[in-house]
Amino acid sequence: MNKTTSFSIWYVLLAIMAVVLVHDFILALNKVEELPYSQFKSLVVTGKVAEVSVTSHILTGKLKAEGESKEQKAFTTVRVDDPDLVRELNQHGVTFTGVIESTFLRDVLSWVIPVALFVGIWFFILKRFGQAQGGFMQVGQSKAKIYVEKDIKVTFADVAGVDEAKEELGEVIEFLKTPEKFTKLGGKIPKGILLVGPPGTGKTLLARAVAGEAGVTFFSISGSEFVEMFVGVGAARVRDLFDQAKLKAPCIIFIDELDALGKARGAGPMGHEEREQTLNQLLVEMDGFDPRIGVILMAATNRPEILDPALLRAGRFDRHVVVDRPDKIGRLAILRVHAKQVTLGPDADLENIAAMTPGFSGADLANIINEAALLAVRRGKDQVGFSELQEAVERVIAGLEKKNRVLNKMEKERVAYHETGHALVAMSLPGMDQVQKISIIPRGVAALGYTLQLPTEDRFLMTKSELENKVAVLLGGRIAEETIFGEASTGAQNDLLKATDIAKSMVKAYGMSEKLGTISLERERQSQFLQLPVASERGDYSEETAREIDCEVRRIIDEQYGRVKSLLEENKAALQQGATLLLEREVITGAELKVVMENLSAQRQPTE
C-alpha cells in the first residue's frame, strides 16, 4: 500500500474521533445533575423547582436560582410511574411541559456517522481515481507490472536445441557488452529483435539468457498486461518503460507476447482503443531511440502473422529470430539441461526419450523431467529411472494430444515421403526457390511437416513456366505418397488448394491459357499472389467461359501431375533414401538431400 492510501484512512479515522470529542464536549458544557426521583419529589414539595419537561422516560428541568447566583441548575431524573406528579407540580407552581421524547441526538449520530464514512470513502476513491486520470505518469511509475531484473543467472548453457537462434543473438550480446566498439566502427545495430516460434520453445528463456550472458539489466513486460482498464495507462507504461531503460543502459527491454498488444490495428473486438494507443506509443518510442545508447528491444510472439505490419517495418522489429521446436539432437540437449536438476538412475536413457518425443517443445521436455522426478518420489525411489521417464512421456503426450498432434509411426513415415516429394521436385525443376530445410516435426495444428523454400532474391515477376513449376512442387507431396504407398491421404489438401489457385490465376488473371487467350478476368490481383494465391469471387463472364476456365485449370494441373509422376518414378530411389534419412533425423537440409541425389546418380552413371 502506498502513502496516499494509508494517509486517507487515517484522515477518516481522525475525523470520526473529532466528531466524538466535540459531542462529549458539548454535553460537558451543559452539565446536568442526575437526581434520584425521591429527591426530585422533595425538591418539588419544597418549592425549589422552577420548570420541568416531561417525556415518557425522563424528567428534565431547572431548579430555582438560589441566593446570589442567577444560574438555574439543570437536573434530570428517571421517571417513575407516579399518578400524583401532575397534581403536585400544579400545586407548587412549577411550569411544566410534556415533550415528545427527543431522539434528535441518536438520529443525528445514526445519520451522520454512516454519511461521514461514506463521504470519507468517496473522497478516498476519488483521490485514487483522480490520480489515474490526472497523472498517467504516476500510475506508470508505480512500476506495477514492469519487471526489472539485474544479475540474471540464466545463460546460454541453460537454453538448448536452438543453436541457430543463439548464434544470431551472439552479436547482440557482443554489442551489449561493448557498445563503444560497435559505435566506433559505425556498425549497424539492430533496434528490435523479434523471437518467433511456437509456445514453450524457450523464447522468454532465450531473451533472459541474452541479458544474463551480457550481464545487463533486463526490463520485461508482457503484452497482455498492457490491456488495462483505463485508456492511456498502457501508453504511459510504455513511455515509462523506455524512460527507465534509457537510464539503465546498457540493457534489454523485452516485450513478451507482443501479439497481445501488437495485433493489427482495427482488428479484434474489444478494447482496441487502448491497445491502439499503446501500440502507437510503442512505435513512437521505437522510432525515438537510438540503439547506440545501449538499449536493445526484444519481443516474443508465437503469432507473427497477426502483428501490425507497422511493427515489422525497417527500424522496428526488423530482425526476426526463429525459435523452432527442437530436433532429436536438440531434444536430447534440452533433456540433459533439465536432468541436471534431478538424480538420474543408470538406466535413464535420455537418448531414447529424445527419440520418442518428436514435436515436443522445450517446455514439454522440461515437464517430462519434472513429472518423472515426481513419480520417482511417489514410488519412494531416490533416482529417476527409465520407467519413470517413459511414464512421464506418456502423461505429457496425453496432455498434449489436445493441443498438438503427435503422429504415430505410420503417419510419420507418410509425412516423411510427402515432404521429401516436395523437396525433390523443387530441387529438380529450374527456377525454384532453394530448399533450405525439410522437417517432419509437427508445427502447430495445421502442418504435420514442412519443406522450407527460401527465395534467393526478391521476385516481382514470374514466368509461365515458373508458375507451372510451382504447381508441380505443390503436387510433389501427394504424388510421392501415391508412388510409395499406392494411395493418397488427406494430408495434401492444403497443397492441392494452393496448386488449384495458382492454376486458376494463370487462366483467369494472367492470360496464360491458350484456349482462353490473352485476357484477364480478374481485377485487383497484381503480383500479390507471389506470396499466397487467393481464389477470388466469380467474375463477370459467361457460363461458357466458366466451363472453359474449369477445363483449363484441370488441364494445367493434369499436365503437371503427369510430369511430377514420371519425375518421382525416375527418382524413386532418391525419394526412398531421402525419406529414410528424414525419418531418422526429423530435419534435414536441402543440401543433405542433394548429396543423396548426387550419390545415387553417381552410382548409376558407371552401369549405364
CA-nearest of 242, 160, 162, 159 to 205 is 159
The CA–CA distances, whole Å, from 96 to 53, 56, 82, 103, 199 equal: 6, 14, 15, 20, 89
By beta-carbon proximity to Mg ion, the closer residue of 198 and 491 is 198
Burial class (CB in 10 A: 0-12, 13-18, 19+), 138: middle
> In the set 162, 295, 441, 475, which binds ligand ADP (CB under 6 A)?
162
Q: Does 482 bind Zn ion (CB under 5 A)?
A: no
Q: Does 160 bind ligand ADP (CB under 6 A)?
A: yes
Q: How far apart are CA 481 and CA 458, in angstroms?
A: 32
Stretch that binds ligand ADP, among 154-162, 305-313, 497-505, 548-556 (CB under 6 A): 154-162
Stretch that binds ligand ADP, among 350-358, 359-367, 390-398, 565-573 (CB under 6 A): 359-367
Q: Does 204 bind Mg ion (CB under 5 A)?
A: yes
Q: Does 222 bind ligand ADP (CB under 6 A)?
A: no
Report 297-316 residues binding ligand ADP (CB under 6 A): 300
Q: Are strands 251-256 and 295-301 parallel, antiparallel or unpaired?
A: parallel
By beta-carbon proximity to ligand ADP, the closer residue of 202 and 232 is 202
Provide the minimum distance between the beta carbon of 304 and ligand ADP in the complex, in angstroms, as a whole number: 13
Q: Does 362 bind ligand ADP (CB under 6 A)?
A: yes
Closest residue to ligand ADP in the complex (CB): 362
> How does 570-592 read in b/e, with b if 16+ C-beta sit within 10 Å?
ebeebbbbbbebbbebbbbebee
By beta-carbon proximity to ligand ADP, the closer residue of 311 and 323 is 323
> In the set 337, 393, 499, 507, which binds ligand ADP (CB under 6 A)?
337
By beta-carbon proximity to Zn ion, the closer residue of 178 and 493 is 493
Closest residue to Zn ion in the complex (CB): 477
What is the pattern of x (binds ligand ADP, CB under 6 A) and - over residues 470-499? ------------------------------
Q: Does 477 bind Zn ion (CB under 5 A)?
A: yes
Question: Which option in ligand ADP, Mg ion, Zn ion, none does residue 262 bind, with CB closer than 5 to 8 A by kind?
Answer: none
Provide the minimum distance between the beta carbon of 293 and Mg ion in the complex, in angstroms, as a whole number: 27
In DSSP notation, 347-366 reads T--HHHHHHH-TT--HHHHH
Phi and psi for 215 in degrees, rounded to 5? 70, 40
Q: In what order do the strands lie in the sheet with 450-454?
A: 450-454, 434-439, 587-589
The CA–CA distances, whole Å, from 288 to 239, 430, 529, 578 equal: 11, 46, 35, 50
Cell numbers found for residue 315: 527500424
Contact between 190 and 121 (Cβ < 8 Å)? no
Question: Which option in Zn ion, Mg ion, ligand ADP, none does residue 212 bind, with CB closer than 5 to 8 A by kind?
Answer: none
Q: Is residue 394 annotated as part of the catalytic site, yes or no?
A: no
Q: In what order do the strands lie in the sheet with 95-98?
A: 33-34, 74-78, 58-63, 49-54, 95-98
Place of cell 514410488: 379
Stretch that binds Mg ion, among 102-110, 201-209, 467-475, 548-556 (CB under 5 A): 201-209
Provide the minimum distance between the beta carbon of 15 and ligand ADP in the complex, in angstroms, as a whole number: 50
Q: Provide the 3-class DSSP secondary structure of residue 83.
A: coil
Question: Which option in Zn ion, ligand ADP, Mg ion, none does residue 161 bind, with CB closer than 5 to 8 A by kind?
Answer: ligand ADP
Closest residue to Mg ion in the complex (CB): 204
Provide the minimum distance between the beta carbon of 499 and ligand ADP in the complex, in angstroms, as a whole number: 33
What ranges make up the beta strands (E) of 262-309?
Answer: 295-301
Q: Provide the 3-class DSSP secondary structure of residue 82.
A: coil
By beta-carbon proximity to Mg ion, the closer residue of 302 and 580 is 302
Cell numbers found for residue 540: 463477370
> In the set 276, 495, 501, 552, which binds Zn ion (CB under 5 A)?
495
Q: How far apart are CA 466 and CA 463, in angstroms?
A: 5
Provide the minimum distance between the beta carbon of 403 and ligand ADP in the complex, in angstroms, as a whole number: 13
Cell numbers found for residue 565: 509422376
Cell numbers found for residue 179: 557498445
Q: Does 202 bind ligand ADP (CB under 6 A)?
A: yes
Can you say whether residue 186 is alpha, beta or left, with left for phi > 0 and alpha for psi between -120 and 50 degrees?
Answer: left
Provide the minimum distance between the beta carbon of 255 and Mg ion in the complex, in angstroms, as a whole number: 11
Provide the minimum distance between the beta carbon of 564 and ligand ADP in the complex, in angstroms, as a whole number: 37
Question: Which option in ligand ADP, Zn ion, Mg ion, none does residue 482 bind, with CB closer than 5 to 8 A by kind?
Answer: none
Q: Provide the 3-class DSSP secondary structure of residue 248.
A: coil
Provide the minimum distance between the beta carbon of 219 and ligand ADP in the complex, in angstroms, as a whole number: 16
By beta-carbon proximity to Zn ion, the closer residue of 321 and 588 is 588
Q: Are strands 295-301 and 450-454 parallel, antiparallel or unpaired?
A: unpaired
* H or E stretch covering 52: strand 49-54
Q: How far apart are CA 380 and CA 377, in angstroms?
A: 5
Q: How many residues bind ligand ADP (CB under 6 A)?
A: 18
Question: Which option in ligand ADP, Mg ion, Zn ion, none does residue 211 bind, with CB closer than 5 to 8 A by kind?
Answer: none
Q: Does 201 bind ligand ADP (CB under 6 A)?
A: yes
Provide the minimum distance between the beta carbon of 498 and Zn ion in the complex, in angstroms, as a whole number: 9
Stretch that binds Zn ion, among 124-132, 178-186, 408-416, 471-479 (CB under 5 A): 471-479
Give me the residues paired with residue 98 across strands. 54
What ranges make up the beta strands (E) of 276-338?
Answer: 295-301, 319-322
By beta-carbon proximity to ligand ADP, the closer residue of 205 and 502 is 205
Q: In what order do the strands lie in the sheet with 192-196?
A: 147-149, 217-222, 251-256, 295-301, 192-196, 319-322
Measured in Å, how far apart are the chain's first and last C-alpha atoms? 86
> In the set 37, 53, 72, 199, which binds ligand ADP (CB under 6 A)?
199
What number of residues does the chain have?
Answer: 608
Provide the minimum distance between the beta carbon of 532 and Mg ion in the complex, in angstroms, as a whole number: 28
> In the set 363, 397, 432, 447, which binds ligand ADP (CB under 6 A)?
363
Q: How far apart are CA 561 and CA 551, in angstroms?
A: 15
Question: Which option in Zn ion, ligand ADP, Mg ion, none does residue 495 bind, with CB closer than 5 to 8 A by kind?
Answer: Zn ion
Q: Does 204 bind ligand ADP (CB under 6 A)?
A: yes
Active-site pick, 274, 413, 419, 481 = 419
Which residues would be at the binding site for ligand ADP (CB under 6 A)? 159-162, 197, 199-205, 300, 334, 337, 362-363, 366
Catalytic residues: 419
Which residues would be at the binding site for Mg ion (CB under 5 A)? 204
